[in-house]
Amino acid sequence: MKTVGIIGTGRVGSTLAQLAVAAGSSVVISNSRGPETLAGLITELGPNARAATPAESAAAGDLVVVSVPVRAYRDVPVAPLSGKTVIDTVNYDPELHGRIAELDDPTGPATTSEILQQHLPLSHVVKACNNIFFLTLGSLSRPTAAADRTALPIAGDDADAKGEAAAFLDALGYDSVDVGPLTEGWRYQPGTPAHRVYVGDSIHDAVPAGTDTVRTALAAAVRPSSMLGISAEERH
């Protein structure tokens, strides 16, 4: 992946930026407060990183990561993402970020990725990296074919975009498990077994999980009737 655009460069976005730069990509990172507030991170990331606005990140990326709080999904620029693969790391956290009416509606979409896809009708959204704690994401990266390589689920409606997402994750140090279309993304939202699969005794205890382990966790998911009632430990 030549250039990765990152919209939302907090805990998850900056971890992905670090992994992407380590994998040889350039990154164009952005947040809500402006490029100047990312100067420290740019220094850490080195010469293959630059800070920009979200629209500039979207335009620059061959692939673009969206890693913002769910309440901000409508701010993601639409036109510059047209035709691109967009990795969605977003989780729905009603206690921290407020209620999102379209996700609370039992007759509407069940996942952040589906509402992001509606917002970006000409892009190809792939749900990925939402079920792993950001510190764990930074620490479980392994070279291809390592015995303890971890797998991450991906869901999306476009096969080519999922292929691109899988190649991106591979470069970052992860295998991937194709869960199916975006409507299957609930299988690794907060509260599901796949959201706890890389966690040991505490959330800071990172446990590698390969494709078979992740597939088993995904198969054990029980569709929640509501996002409410998810424990604080499961929300991140």
Ligand X SMILES: NC(=O)c1ccc[n+]([C@@H]2O[C@H](COP(=O)([O-])OP(=O)(O)OC[C@H]3O[C@@H](n4cnc5c(N)ncnc54)[C@H](OP(=O)(O)O)[C@@H]3O)[C@@H](O)[C@H]2O)c1
Q: Which of 220, 56, 234, 209 is nearest to 130 (CA)?
A: 234
Gap between the Cα atoms of 90 and 96, Å rounded? 13
Q: In whole angstroms, what separates CA 234 from the centre of its chain?
A: 16
Nearest-5° angle of CA 36, CA 40, CA 46? 105
Q: Do the strands 26-30 and 63-66 form a parallel or antiparallel pair, or are they unpaired? A: unpaired
Minimum distance of ligand X from residue 145's CB (angstroms): 26
The interface region with ligand X, picked from 8-16, 44-52, 155-163, 175-183 by CB under 6 A, is: 8-16
Compare residues 97 and 142 and give the one whose CB is closer to ligand X.
97
The residue within the footprint of ligand X, chosen from 1, 4, 7, 172 (CB under 6 A), is 7
- Tell me: does residue 134 bind ligand X (CB under 6 A): yes
Binding-residue total with ligand X (CB under 6 A): 25
Q: Which residue is nearest to ligand X (CB)?
A: 10
Amino acid identity, position 222:
V
Q: With contacts defined by CB under 6 A, name the span among 87-95, 119-127, 146-154, 224-232 that binds ligand X.
A: 87-95
The whole-angstrom separation of Cα 90 and Cα 68 is: 6
Q: Which of residues 9-68 bind ligand X (CB under 6 A)?
A: 9-13, 31-33, 54, 67-68
What is the spatial distance between Cα 35 and Cα 37, in angstroms, rounded to a whole number? 5
- Residues of the shown chain interacting with ligand X in the complex, contacts defined by CB under 6 A: 7-13, 31-33, 54, 67-70, 72, 75, 89-91, 93, 130, 133-134, 236
